[in-house]
Structure 1
Amino acid sequence: MIVQLYTQSQLRNFTYLIKAEAGWYCIDPFDAEQVISGIDGDLVAVINTHEHWDHTKGNEKLREKTGCQVWAHRAAKGKIEGVDRYLNKDELIDLGKGKSFLVMDTPGHTHAHLCLLYREDETPKAVFTGDTLFNAGVGNCHNGGDPEILYETISKQFQGLDGGIKVYPGHEYLGNNLKFTLDREPTNQKAKDLYKDYEKDNFLVTDMNLERQINTFLRLDQEEIKKNLEGDTSTEKQVFLRLRELRNSW
């Protein structure tokens, strides 16, 4: 069972709860009390996708109140306090009853960023993307990141994911990201339809098929997008970098 918690934070954070055989796992706790209210058993571990404060804010209180462990990317050593277990690329976290997380090493937003591919009987069903991939967007690189590395992560690790995989990002930015999509690709009918129906507090869970239709950063080969950019658009990497630069101040 996957529970998406909207935290009501200024940054519109999501926290996730996953029920496993041994208890609950929490991804990116913002409000510890909200997490405690959302579970009906033991909290096994908190998993931080990366080191930024809004993804680790609930760590200490959850450890104190539940005795849970804190897990994070190996490169987060010295960046997140009190980590009990450092996770490596392609490591499997067994959730029981054929369910598991596969750890993805996904630098770009920061260099200590991981994502979690949720699998049932080894078939990927969902991906928890932190601040790497958003609904209709990607993360910024302002605080310890690198847009060129982010491009490599998106192109090599997300473009090839099966279309039915659900996307669970670290923030609810869909409305603003759709506006950026339409600014760059005004004829994108799917983005138009979604934006027309968008409700700020009614959260849509997308999948990779939908993301490939509405996410500008996954549509780098589209002529309309390239035509509306200044500068070198001869490679998809250049298109991505220019889009990320524009999105920074948009």
Structure 2
Amino acid sequence: MQEIDIIQIPCLNDNYGYLVHHAASGETASIDTPDAAPLLQALADRNWNLTAIYNTHHHYDHVGGNLELKEKTGCKIYGPAGDADKIPGLDEALDDSDMITLGDAQIRILNVGGHTKGHIAYYFCENGCAFVGDTLFMLGCGRLFEGTAQQMWASLKKITNLPPETLIYCAHEYTEANARFAVTIDPDNQNLADRVAEIETLRAADKPTVPASIATELATNPFLRAGDASIQKHLGMTGANLVDVFAQIRTLKDNY
């Protein structure tokens, strides 16, 4: 396995920026660029050189630092083909099943559209981690700003088909609010109750709730559990199409 270091950097109000460093090659990637200043500071603190930006989608709190970082470091910018015309400074457009490398660490691209049409995720195949932007949150998922419920459900399934121990790094610290909603959808889930208690402890200590494993999310995240009989019964949708159940949960969250 090619060793990488992951640095999680709070940015803006509730975003996370990530620096991924491949020590053997010295290459470093920024996963999205919510704010250039804290990313530049984190790079300077470690004497790392930024060689790449991996954008997940075009929203400003994910690409806002692109041009400043590119100007100051000369890094190459990768981003989703489906959002290519909206990614500042884009050098290489990526789509589903494309492969890129950080040093010799292999990264597979997943097209996980729904939040935006062209949203992608970066799966570090040998390192057991995936950077999923705003598609999947801890106990939540992204709003359907551009895509459909069918598209988002397929995208979530694509992520959760990765190995269960895979750590999911999402782009926002939304977990506490997501937890309050989740218990209204899945009130009898003891795994969720235990996770909520853990989240409360972490946030009380000002610690992040991200990352979490796919296995944890499958056991607790209502947006991934549309096929669960107790959730379907709670929603009055026993036996319903899974996309319809997911869409109903998304609508309830939108209005929560």
TM-score (normalizing by structure 1): 0.91
C-alpha distance in 1 between matches for 2:160 and 2:60: 28
Matched, 1:185 2:186: yes
Counterparts of residues 47-196 of structure 1 (less than 5 Å):
47-97=54-104, 99-120=105-126, 125-142=128-145, 144-155=146-157, 157-196=158-197
* 8 Å CA contact retained: 2:109, 2:120: yes
C-alpha distance in 2 between matches for 1:25 and 1:238: 38
Matched, 1:44 2:46: no
* 8 Å CA contact retained: 2:63, 2:88: no
* 8 Å CA contact retained: 2:21, 2:29: yes
Residue type at the aligned position of 2:7: V
C-alpha distance in 1 between matches for 2:51 and 2:120: 19
Residue type at the aligned position of 2:31: I
Task: After TM superposition, give the deviation of residue 42 of structure 1 in Å.
Answer: 1.6
Hey, what does 1:211 align to over in structure 2?
A: 217
Hey, what does 1:245 align to over in structure 2?
A: 251
Equivalent residue for 1:33, pick from 32, 37, 52: 37
Hey, what does 2:234 align to over in structure 1?
A: 228
- SS in structure 1 opposite 2:102? strand
TM-score (normalizing by structure 2): 0.89
Residue type at the aligned position of 2:208: F
Gaps of 5+ in 1: none
Runs ≥4 residues deviating over 6 A: none
Hey, what does 1:16 align to over in structure 2?
A: 18
C-alpha distance in 2 between matches for 1:215 and 1:69: 35
* 8 Å CA contact retained: 2:27, 2:103: no
C-alpha distance in 2 between matches for 1:158 and 1:78: 25
C-alpha distance in 2 between matches for 1:88 and 1:109: 16
* 8 Å CA contact retained: 2:139, 2:217: yes
Alpha-carbon deviations, 1:172-208, whole Å to 9, x = none? Answer: 1111111121111111112212222323331132101
Task: After TM superposition, give the deviation of residue 231 of structure 1 in Å.
Answer: 5.6
C-alpha distance in 1 between matches for 2:42 and 2:27: 12
* 8 Å CA contact retained: 1:109, 1:147: no
* Number of aligned residue pairs: 242
* 8 Å CA contact retained: 2:237, 2:245: no
Alpha-carbon deviations, 1:96-142, whole Å to 9, x = none? Answer: 34x2211111111111100010122xxx5011110111111111013
Distance of aligned partners of 1:232 and 1:221 in 2 relative to their CA distance in 1, 3 Å threshold? closer
* 8 Å CA contact retained: 1:125, 1:164: yes
Residue identity over aligned pairs, in percent, reads 29
Hey, what does 1:202 align to over in structure 2?
A: 207
Task: After TM superposition, give the deviation of residue 22 of structure 1 in Å.
Answer: 4.0
- SS in structure 2 opposite 1:128? strand
Task: After TM superposition, give the deviation of residue 230 of structure 1 in Å.
Answer: 4.4
